[in-house]
Amino acid sequence: MATKPIDGQMPGTSGLRKKVKVWQEGFFLHNFVQSILDAWEGGTPKKLVLGGDGRYFSSEAIQEIIKICAANGVEELYLGKGGLLSTPAASGVIRRLEADGGIVLTASHNPGGPDEDFGIKFNNKNGAPAPEAFTDNVYKATTKITTVKTMENVPVPDLDTVGTTDIGAMKLHVIESVEDYVTLLKEQFDFGKLKAFAESNPNFKLCFDAMHGAAGPYAKAIFEGELGLANAELLRCDPLPDFGGSHPDPNLFYAADLVEKMGLTGDGTAKAGATGGPDLGAASDGDGDRNMILGKGCFVTPSDSLAVIADWADAAIPGIAKRGGLKTVARSMPSSGAVDAVAAKKGMKCFATPTGWKFFGNLMDADQMGYKEDLTPLLCGEESFGTGSDHVREKDGVWAVVAWLSILAEANDPKTSPFKTELESGEFIGVKQVMERHWQTYGRHLYSRWDFEGVGSDGANAMVERLRGLNAESPELNPAEAEAETEADPMGSFDELLALVFDSEAESEAEEEVAEPEVLKAVNIEDFR
């Protein structure tokens, strides 16, 4: 089909997000997908993986992408059953099949629906988000495109039945990605020990909220099917095109029902008089790569979560221990230095990277990119509720929850637990006790991130310039102890975000009470309007 370049197709971090109605206009979808294939290094990829979080417009997009791939000479296309493939599962499938890469249909934690967001991102052959050189080439291709190759009169394949269908010369394989993912996590964790932990602690309760995103089927298969957690409360685990009208972002604001169940207020502090509730609470986002961890009356910041997992990794994650133990940790620059303290004490390498999971992927494959040594096993995390390891090349929400479940199992094992005195007195070691011990051992890093969503770039930039101009001795903000960043949505969606990040290490008990409203005196909300 003859076409011409369409404005607005510059990818962000690893793909492109736009409102659904933009993708539905003319050849917008067709042009972008064709440009991905045209930009592929070495010519048209022969083996690709396709799927996504099931958001609105996914089904229509999949049908068109299948035809475009077939017409362009792709030989094998692997599609998640029903089109569903969480972002970490997609990375795992790409690696297992040794595919040339993957096309993932997601706008991550952004809302879905006719008036909301849709996105396409692409992963390279190691399962990681595509590097900037590739996204640049995709954009260049969108500015020169004249033709879209597609097929007409193609029967609509059954995407809900596992099997193989011929689409012209291309073979379309519909696969059961949940089974693949469960197998992958069994290689990382001791499911037998987790089952034994659940059986020996029959009152233990997990509450997991999938927020109607892609993580739901994977969570059910693991927590109910494999581990048999009798008291597990699995909320919103059925993926929906509009995420049930909710915003599928696992944080204290958008996962308010879970936060309340855990005996917490909206700012993450314990609710006065709250009793009972689940022992471990967790949530994931639209495409299943983010996570939030909660205990009874205890909110675990993403930075603290990474630090705790790093501390317990050799004991709680056999997939790391059997490779000689954790070697490297990495964090995004705006996260706190909590994991740095663990690395320093345990003699591990520690890196701080720019925002974007692709930079963690570079560390995971450093030895293949000319670096002097292999840095794996490696754990990494970012301040925006992303945590993962080198088992895939994406952050992984369900993996993080299983990691915390494994930490609790280890903490409550009388043979190996550092909480022997507490266990002898019959105490169950929960998330709060794990956190308190961690702070006593490594110190507590105070951290806060404030997001202002839907702001204009002019106002956000003016705010950052004002913060930079404050006197270093100002009681409102000490630049030596605070960081501020402003970022547009990394995949190019409509609204922009101002993220203010504050981080320092507590030197006394009194400093553990963070006066965030005082910090915000430096912020003039009127700049956004």
Tokens describing residue 508: 């006394």
Residue 253 has φ and ψ, to the nearest 5°, of -85, -50
Given the structure tokens 């221990």, which residue do they identify? 321
The pLDDT of residue 263 is above 70:
yes
CA distances in angstroms from 53 to 173, 208, 336, 476, listed in the order given: 18, 18, 30, 42
User: Which of 143-147, 440-444, 493-497 comes out lowest in average pLDDT?
Assistant: 493-497
Tokens describing residue 511: 């400093």
Given the structure tokens 């190996």, which residue do they identify? 416
Q: Is 42 helix (H, G, I), strand (E, B) or coil?
A: coil
The pLDDT of residue 224 is above 80:
yes
363's CB contacts (< 8 A; 6+ apart) are 328, 330, 351, 353, 375, 378, 380
Q: Is 76 helix (H, G, I), strand (E, B) or coil?
A: strand
Residue 140 has φ and ψ, to the nearest 5°, of -60, -40
Task: Report, as residue numbers or ranges, the catalytic residues.
Answer: 108
Q: How high is the mean pLDDT of the chain? A: 89
- The per-residue DSSP string of 256-307 comes to HHHHHHTTB-TTSPBPTT-----SEEEEE-TTS-BEEEEETTEEE-HHHHHH
Given the structure tokens 């581990």, which residue do they identify? 227
Q: Determine the pLDDT at residue 458.
A: 77
- Give residue 55's pLDDT band: very low, low, confident or very high (50, 70, 90): very high
- The per-residue DSSP string of 506-520 comes to -SSGGGGS--HHHHG
274's CB contacts (< 8 A; 6+ apart) are 263, 264, 297
pLDDT tens digits for range 176-218:
999 999 999 999 999 999 999 999 999 999 999 999 999 999 9
Q: Determine the pLDDT at residue 148.
A: 98
Residue type, 421: T
CA 368 to chain CA centroid, nearest Å: 24
Q: Where are the alpha helices (DSSP H) in 284-430?
A: 302-316, 318-321, 338-346, 357-364, 397-411, 420-424
Helix, strand, coil % over all residues of the chain, rounded to 5:
35, 20, 40
CA 108 to chain CA centroid, nearest Å: 8
User: What crossing angle do the helices spanning 191-200 and 397-411 adopt, rounded to 10°?
Assistant: 60
In the sheet where 163-167 sits, what is the strand order? Answer: 15-19, 117-123, 101-105, 47-52, 76-84, 170-175, 163-167
Q: Which residues pair with 144 in a beta bridge?
A: none
Q: Which residues pair with 379 in a beta bridge?
A: 329, 389
pLDDT tens digits for range 431-450:
999 999 999 999 998 777 77
**Residues 407/431, Cβ–Cβ less than 8 Å:** no
The mean per-residue pLDDT over the stretch 393-402 comes to: 98
Give the C-alpha separation, 161 to 482, whole Å.
52
Q: Which residues pair with 303 in a beta bridge?
A: none
Q: Determine the pLDDT at residue 485.
A: 38
Q: Determine the pLDDT at residue 502.
A: 63
- Give residue 515's pLDDT band: very low, low, confident or very high (50, 70, 90): very low
| First-to-last C-alpha distance (Å) of the chain | 44
**Residues 48/65, Cβ–Cβ less than 8 Å:** no
Q: Determine the pLDDT at residue 204.
A: 96
**Residues 162/81, Cβ–Cβ less than 8 Å:** yes
E strands of 91-142, at which residues? Answer: 101-105, 117-123
Buried b (16+ CB within 10 A) or exposed e, 334-362: bbbbbbbbbbeeeebebbebebbbbbbbb
- Give residue 274's pLDDT band: very low, low, confident or very high (50, 70, 90): confident
